[in-house]
Amino acid sequence: MTDWTLEGLAAAIRAGKISPVEATRDCLARIDRLDGGLRAFIAVDQAGALETARRLEAEQGRGAWRGPLHGVPLAFKDLCFIRGLPTSCGTRTAEYFLAEGDCTVVARLAAAGAVTLGKLNMSELAMGPFGDNAHHGHARNPWRTGHCPGGSSSGSAVAVAAGLALGAVGSDTGGSIRLPAAACGIVGLKPTYGRVSRAGAMPLSWSNDHVGPMARTVRDCALLLQVMAGPDALDATASPAPVPDYVAALDGRVAGLRVGVVENYFFQGIDAEMEAGVRRAADVIAQLGARVSELQVPDPRTMSDVTNIVSRSEASTIHARLLRERPHELQPVVRARLELGMHIPAYDYLQALRLRARLTRGFIAQVFAEVDVLVAPVIPEPAPPLAHATLGPVHELVARQGRFSRLTRPFNGLGLPALSVPCGFSSTGLPLAFQIVGRPFDEATVLRLGDAYQHATDWHLQRPPLS
Amino acid sequence: MKGDLESMDESGPRQAEEAALLGVIERMAGDLALAEEPARFIAALEAGRPSGGDDPE
């Protein structure tokens, strides 16, 4: 079953070729066999998953179908609150985050028939682009287990890449869906700000948090987004805009699409193999009939700094009690980042929010007058060794983290949809990736181009060397 | 709270990082329009939505 896509498994279950219980048992057996080394999960809910699968199987026997994910095993970043399961958010405290009700996206996926396998490893408090976690053990990159999986949704990417789950949910405040997706060779979508409800997910920065899908294919991400997206009375920032049919949008029609390869900032100082991989991806897109051109965008460093000011201020405010009462429980680099937020004056925070509005307006007006989507690298280098992420003085680690997430963070501030897609491998066997960035609420075009790219390539069909 | 959280050995690098980060406000915020406000970010996203009918050929 490890080669199946989420969509393929859903169809096989519906056709009676495999049952929800068989699919769930298969994932649980694989988790049991591999997760001791990979550490993708913080908590596996074996009993709950099998109980749900049996119920779904019984419903199937009566001809009842919950929805497009009936019987499909998924797993969730451990910042999604689910009744009956602890939500550590990667901290030492098992039940760090409590919400009034189940995380909206988890509830929607369950209502569509998904089976919850458990809660996934993550960087502490979703702060850290490498995916290391001293409390729960470092998640491991399935392609080379001595290397980082990327973070903060580390377990989400590892679980999907290793075939432990058919899809996962992650969150992205500065790149935390796209970075691990890129590092582990899967697909991850940060939707437009407001496209997906964040209710019931631990906040890190209410201005920059996004919840989104992670899967092996763009098509599977579209299927998950279809279920996850839409207005939510529990999240005031969730847009009331109607949700288009994302799966129907995957029609392969990319001829004439205006694609801009961003030449300023994004290729500066990045690894040569990564740059070559992204430029080859742009060539493939051109061969599909898209009008690919080089493009300069408004300086992303400004938006990156603005986003950082806002995120640090809000994260420190949200997690002030932990920082004040139990700072010794935090990893030093997480504590240092939170402490900095305490030193940002209200004046600078508010000016940053005002600047963000102006910068976003200007970016959208300038860039999308010229192109329909942007193409750029996601990570500046293939996943580095874990030791690289965890060794050294705190200020060096903070700076290293900032460099690794510098290509994703601007799009959190801009709120634009951004899709990470695998586009090859380095000479050392680690995944390469590029991101497709679109107009606000134009996930359909972003997904359409990503899907067309995957139809023309086979990077997403490669599997990590796990026994 | 600031004093309680201060870590002597990391306060130097932290202050440098803080200064670098806040430099953008010094450089960019001076000419913000009086009417600029955070909520205009959401308005920018809504206004930037695809209009429909803009499919590629």
pLDDT for position A151: 97
Q: How far apart are alpha carbons A418 and A404 in whole angstroms?
A: 17
Asked if A357 and B37 come within 8 Å (Cβ–Cβ), the reply is yes
Determine the pLDDT at residue B55: 43
Indicate the residue of A192, A309, A343 with minimum beta-carbon distance to B45: A192
- B2 pLDDT higher than 70: no
The Cβ of residue A353 has, within 10 Å, a number of other Cβ atoms equal to 21
Low-confidence spans in chain A with pLDDT less than 50: none
Radius of gyration from C-alpha coordinates of chain B: 20
The residue of chain B with its CA nearest to that of A237 is B42
pTM given for the model: 0.96
- Shortest CA gap A208–chain B (Å): 11
Query: Residue A342 and residue B2: Cβ atoms within 8 Å?
Result: yes
A177 token code pair = 């869906």
Three-state DSSP at A390 gives helix
CB contact under 8 A, A354 and B22: no
| Residue B15 pLDDT level (bands cut at 50, 70, 90) | confident
Q: How far apart are CA A440 and CA A427, in angstroms?
A: 36
Q: What is the pLDDT of residue B53?
A: 44
Residue-level pLDDT at A338: 96
**Nearest chain B Cα distance for residue A287, angstroms:** 15
Q: How confident is the model at residue B9 (pLDDT cuts 50, 70, 90)?
A: low
User: Using CB atoms, which residue from A254, A290, A441 is nearest to B49?
Assistant: A441
What pLDDT sits at residue A445? 98
* Inter-chain residue contact B24 with A306, CB threshold 8 Å: yes
Q: State the ipTM, two decimals.
A: 0.94
Of B7, B22, B41, the CB nearest to A357: B41
Supply the pLDDT for residue B10. 62
Question: CB atoms < 10 A from the CB of A27, how many?
Answer: 28
Subunit contact B28:A361, Cβ cutoff 8 A: no
Chain A positions in Cβ-Cβ contact with residue B32 (cut-off 8 Å): 351, 354-355, 358
pLDDT, greater one: A403 or B2: A403
Q: What is the mean pLDDT of residues B28-53?
A: 92
Residue B20: band (very low, low, confident or very high) from pLDDT cuts 50, 70, 90: confident
Q: How many residues does chain B have?
A: 57
For residue A302, give the chain B residue with the closest CA.
Answer: B24
Q: What are phi and psi of A213, to 5 degrees?
A: -90, 155
Long-range contacts of A328-333 (CB under 8 A, 24+ apart): A329/A91, A329/A92, A329/A93, A330/A91, A330/A124, A330/A125, A331/A124, A331/A133, A331/A134, A331/A135, A332/A394, A333/A128, A333/A394, A333/A397, A333/A398, A333/A401
- What's the start-to-end Cα distance of chain B, in Å? 59
Residue with tokens 């740059």: A275
**Is-contact A96 A318, C-beta < 8 A?**
no
Under the banding of pLDDT at 50, 70 and 90, the label for residue B52 is low
**Which residues does chain A have within 8 Å of residue B24's beta carbon, measured at their own beta carbons?**
302, 305-306, 309, 352, 355
**pLDDT tens digits for A100-136?**
999 999 999 999 999 999 999 999 999 999 999 999 9
Shortest CA distance from B13: residue in chain A:
A395
Residues belonging to chain A: 467
CB of A151 closer than 8 Å to CB of A124: no
CB count in 10 Å sphere of residue B27:
11
State pLDDT tens for residues A402-448: 999 999 999 999 999 999 999 999 999 999 999 999 999 999 999 99
Q: Do B56 and A357 touch (CB under 8 A)?
A: no
| Catalytic residue set of A | 77, 152, 176
Residue from the list B21, B38, B40 with its beta carbon closest to the beta carbon of A305: B21
**Interchain proximity A441–B18, CB inside 8 Å:** no
